[in-house]
Chain A
C-alpha cells in the first residue's frame, strides 16, 4: 500500500481530499463542531499536499499521473506543472484562512443550511484543484463543470427571490459557456486527435488541414467557454453573484471560480495554441483588445457602485482583465507578471472581501455611505481594507506592485505603449473608487441627521461608546479578524519576499517552459 502515497499519487490525493471532506461534512451534519473540524482539517491537509509538490516540481520536473482511460486517447489524468501549481497553491492556502473565517461569519449571522454550505464549498474546492492539476482538456472540463454546479447552491444560499434569481443568472451564463467550451474541446480533438496540454501548444499541425478562420473561431469558442474569467460582455453574472455569503464571494468569486476562468484562458493560449500559433493567427492582439476594454469599462462601472461587495466585484473584473492582458501580450515578462498576479491578486482581494464581510456581519453595514466613521470602531478591519485597496492600485510595498510592474515591463518589451497607457489608467481609476471608501470610513463625520432619524438606535450602539472596540467583542469576531489580518500581512510580505511558497520560481519556470530558455 505504501506506493499509494508516493509523490506520483499526490495530485490524486489533492483532488480527492476536498471530496472526502465533503462527504465527511454530510455525515457530521448534526454536529456543527465536528463538521467545521473536518473542513479545517481538510483544508490544512490539502494545503500541505499542494505545497509539498512544489519543491519536487522545481527539482524533478512535472508530475504525471493517469488514472484510467476516459475516451480514446484521453486519460483521466493529472499533470502537475508550474502553471497549475500557482493556481492550486493560491486556492488551497486561502481555503485554510477562509474556512476559519467562515466559522465566524456563518455563526455570527446564524445562517441556515450550514451543512449544505460547507458541503458545496468543499466540493467547489475539488473542482478548483482538479481544474488546476488536470492534464488534458477533458479532465479540466469535468472539474470545471463540477466547480460551476457546486457553487450554484452557494450563490442562491440566502434562498430569497433575489438570491435564487442570481443563482439562475449564474447558471445561465456559466453552463451556456460550458457548451461553448465543449465545442472547443471537441473541435480540438477532431482537428489533432489529442487534448493533452503541452508547453509548445498542440494545435499547430492543424494549420495544414484546416483554415485559419476555423482555428480563430475555435479560439473564440474557448474564450466564451471560459466565461468564468468574467471578461466583458460575459461578466454580468459576477456582480449579481455577490448576494452569496461573503466567504463564498471571497474564496470563490475572487479566487477559485474566476481564477479558474483566467487559468483556463492561460492554458488555452499557452498550452493548446502555443505562443507562436497565437501570434501567427493574430489572436494575441484580439485578446488584448478585449482585455483592455474590459479593464477600463469595469473600472468605470465600479465608480458608481454603492454596495461594497458589488464594488469589489467590478474591481475583480478589472483585475482579471489585467491578468488576461498580461497573457495576451505574449511576452515572457508580461506572462510572468500575469501568473504572479493570480496569487497576489487573490491574497489582496480576499483581504478586501473578508473586511467587507466582517463589516457586514459585525456592524451590519453594506453600503459605502453608511461606513462613515466606522474606521474608529473597527480600526483593524478597516486598516486591512486600506492595505488591500492600496494593493489593488499597485502601490508598493504591496504584492500588486510586483505583478503590475512585470506586466507593464512586458508591455514595453513588446512595444505596445498604448496598452501600457491602459494599465496605468486602470491603476489610476482604482484609486478613484477605493479612496472614497477609505476616506468615508476613517475621516467622515457621522451625519447628525442620521442619528435623529433612521435607525438611530443602531447608530447609538455603534458610536456612543467609541472606546468599545466593536470588532473584538466576541470570540466569533476573532475568527473573522485573524484571517483577514493574516491575508493583509501576507499581501505586504509577498511584495518583500515574492518567492514565498516558491511562487516566483513557479512563475519563472512556467514562463521558461512556454517561451524556451530566456
Chain B
C-alpha cells in the first residue's frame, strides 16, 4: 500500500469528491463528513509520503507499471513532499473551519461546495506530484476551473470576479500550453526528467527560448505576479469566506512551486541566467510587486481586499527569492511558500470569523475585537505580526534567509524593497490593532457603553476557533522550529544546494 502513496494522495480526494456530491443528494451533512474523511486520509497519506521520502529519498512512481514517455509518471522528491504535506494539512484544517461558514453563506449549495473543494485540492496535489508537463497542465486546469467556480459560487459581485478570474486564468493557462507545445515540437517529450536531458543542446534555439518565456509568463499570471495580478484582489474579496480561506493560502503558492520546478528542474539555472537574464528580471519584478502590493494594501478599507494585496506583495518575496537564485535565498523562498500559506490561512480565517460574527469584512468591523472576540483578536495578532516579520513568528525567518541571500548576491533593490515593505506592513496592521484595541478613540464616539452602535457579536463556534488557533500556533512553531524544517526537508529540497 505504501508504495502507491504518490497516486493515492491524488486519488483519495478525487474519490471523496464524487462521493460527497452524491451523498449530498440524500443527506446535506453527509458531504461534509465525507470531505473530512477524504482529507484526513489524504493528510495521513501525505505524512506517510514525507516519511518515505525522508528515509529513502525521492520516489519515482510509474502508474500501472508503464514506463514513461508512454505511461504517466509521478515524481515525489523532498520539495514535492513538503508541498504535499502543506496542502493536505491546510486543506484539512480549513475544511474543519469552513463547515459553519458554508452553512451560513451557501445554505443551498453545501454538497456542491464540498465536491468542488475536494476537486480543487485534488488538482493542487496532482500539480505537485506530477512529473509530466502536460499532465501538469491538465491538473492545473482541474484546480483552476474549480477555482473559478468556487469564486463565482458566492453572492453579489462574486460572479463578476469569478468571470474575470476565468478570463485571465485561461489566458495564463494558454500561454503555458503553447510553451509546452513548443517544447514538445522541439524535443518530442513531455517528461520533466527527459526534457532536462534533451533541452541543453537546444538552448540556443529561438523556439526553446520562446517556450521558456511563454511558460514563465503563464505562471506569472497564475501566481498573480505584479503586473499580472489584477484578477486576484477581486476574486479573493468577493469569494465566500471558506473559499478565500483555502484558495488564498494555496493557489498562488503552488504556482510559485511550479515556477521553481520549471526553472530549476526542467530548465537549468545557467540557462535562465546566461541566456535570458531572466533571474534579474524576476528580482526586479519581485521588488516592484512587493512595493506595489504593500502600497495598494495600505489604501484598502476592506480587510480581505487588503489581504489580497498583501498576497501580491508576498508573491513578490517568493519570486524575488527565486530570482536571487542562490541557495540561501531559494531556501528563504521555499520556506516562505509554507510560511505565507500558514499566515494567509490564519488571517483569512480571522476574516471568516469576523464576517461570521459581525456580518461584515471591512476594517471598521474590527472595532473593539480585543474586547468582544478575544480569541479571534489573539489569532489576528499572531498572523499580523508574522506578516510584519516580528520574531519569533515564522515570517521573520524566511525574511532572514531572503535578505541574507539578497545581500550575498548584491541585489540591494530587493533588500530595500523587503525592508520598506516591512515598515508599510507595520502601518497596515497597526491600523487594525488600533481599531481593535481603542475603538472609541478612533471614531470620536463617546465613552464605551454609552452608544452601542451594533449589537454585541455572538460567540463563534469552537469548530471555527479551534482551527484558527491551531494555525496561529503553527505560525509560531514554524518560526521557532524552522531549523528542523530546514535541516530535515529543505536542505534536500532546494535545487541549488547539491
Contact = CB atoms under 8 A, between A and B. Distances in A.
Pick the 4 closest A-B CB pairs, nearest first. Answer: A159-B438, A142-B391, A159-B441, A69-B483
For the complex, would chain B's binding face be called helix, strand, loop or mixed by DSSP majority? helix
A156 interface: yes
Contact of A186 (B370, B385, B407): B407
Interface stretch (A49-57, A160-168, A364-372, A421-429): A160-168
A321 to B, nearest CB: 27
A68 B407 contact: no
A183 B419 contact: yes
Given A179-B422, A183-B419, A156 B438 contact: yes
Interface in B410-438: 419, 422-423, 426, 430, 433-434, 437-438
Contact of A149 (B385, B407, B438): B385
A153 B437 contact: yes
Contact of B403 (A69, A164, A171, A186): A186
Contacts of A189: 404
Given A152-B430, A164-B441, A189-B404, 6 more contacts: A153-B437, A159-B437, A159-B441, A175-B426, A176-B423, A183-B419
Contacts of B444: 161
B430 A179 contact: no
Interface in B92-131: none
Nearest to B486: A72
11 contacts: A70-B392, A76-B392, A142-B391, A156-B434, A156-B441, A159-B437, A159-B440, A167-B434, A175-B423, A183-B419, A187-B407
B400 interface: yes
Nearest to A153: B437
B193 interface: no
A179 B426 CA distance: 11
Contact of B404 (A70, A171, A186): A186
A183 B403 CA distance: 9
Nearest to A171: B430
Contacts of A175: 423, 426
Interface string B5-26: 0000000000000000000000
A182 interface: yes
A244 B240 CA distance: 42
A452 interface: no
Contacts of B430: 152, 168, 171
A164 B434 contact: yes
Chain A interface, >50% SS class: helix
B481 interface: yes
Contacts of B301: none
B438 A164 contact: yes
Contacts of B434: 156, 164, 167
B317 interface: no
Nearest to A75: B483
Interface in B369-385: 370, 385
B390 A182 contact: no
Contacts of B463: none
B397 interface: yes
B445 to A, nearest CB: 11
B187 interface: no
Interface in A173-188: 175-176, 179, 182-183, 186-187
B480 interface: yes
Interface centre among A160, A161, A179 (most CB of B within 10 A): A179
Nearest to A71: B400
Contacts of B437: 116, 153, 156, 159
Given A186-B407, A190-B404, A164 B391 contact: no
B442 interface: yes
B408 interface: yes
Contacts of A182: 403, 419
Interface in A30-76: 68-72, 76
A30 B83 CA distance: 44
A164 B430 CA distance: 11
Interface of A: 68-72, 76, 116, 138, 141-142, 145, 149, 152-153, 156, 159-161, 163-164, 167-168, 171, 175-176, 179, 182-183, 186-187, 189-190
B296 to A, nearest CB: 21
A163 B426 CA distance: 18
Given A71-B400, A183-B419, A190-B404, A161 B441 contact: yes
Interface string B475-493: 0000011110000000000
A98 B392 CA distance: 28
B57 to A, nearest CB: 23
Contacts of B426: 171, 175
Contacts of A71: 397, 400, 482-483
A175 B384 CA distance: 14
A335 B442 CA distance: 46
A145 B390 contact: yes
Contacts of A70: 392, 397, 480, 482-483
A149 B391 CA distance: 11
Contacts of B483: 68-72
Contact of B408 (A149, A160, A176, A190): A190
Contacts of A69: 483
A237 B397 CA distance: 29
A145 B391 contact: yes
A163 B390 CA distance: 24
Contacts of B433: 152
A330 to B, nearest CB: 29
A179 B419 contact: yes
A71 B482 CA distance: 8
Contacts of A164: 434, 438, 441-442
Contacts of A152: 430, 433
Interface string B355-399: 000000000000000100000000000000100001110000100
A421 to B, nearest CB: 40
Interface centre among B390, B391, B392, B423 (most CB of A within 10 A): B391
Nearest to A141: B391
A167 B422 CA distance: 18
Contacts of A156: 434, 437-438, 441
A168 B426 CA distance: 10
Contacts of B391: 138, 141-142, 145
B404 A142 contact: no
A327 to B, nearest CB: 26
A187 B403 CA distance: 10
B325 to A, nearest CB: 17
A182 B415 CA distance: 11
Contacts of B441: 156, 159-161, 163-164
Contacts of A179: 419, 422-423
A290 to B, nearest CB: 23
A116 B377 CA distance: 13
Contact of B390 (A138, A149, A167): A149
A426 to B, nearest CB: 34
Contacts of A186: 400, 403-404, 407
Given A159-B440, A164-B438, A190-B408, A142 B392 contact: yes
A76 B392 CA distance: 10
A156 B433 CA distance: 12
A163 B441 CA distance: 9
B450 to A, nearest CB: 13
Nearest to B328: A72
Q: Which of B370, B430, B438, B483 has the largest number of chain A CB atoms within 10 A? A: B438
A161 to B, nearest CB: 6
Nearest to B448: A112
Contacts of B403: 182, 186
Contacts of B370: 116
B392 A190 contact: no
A176 B481 CA distance: 27
Interface string B242-255: 00000000000000
A467 B429 CA distance: 54
A149 B390 CA distance: 9
Nearest to B397: A71
A518 to B, nearest CB: 38
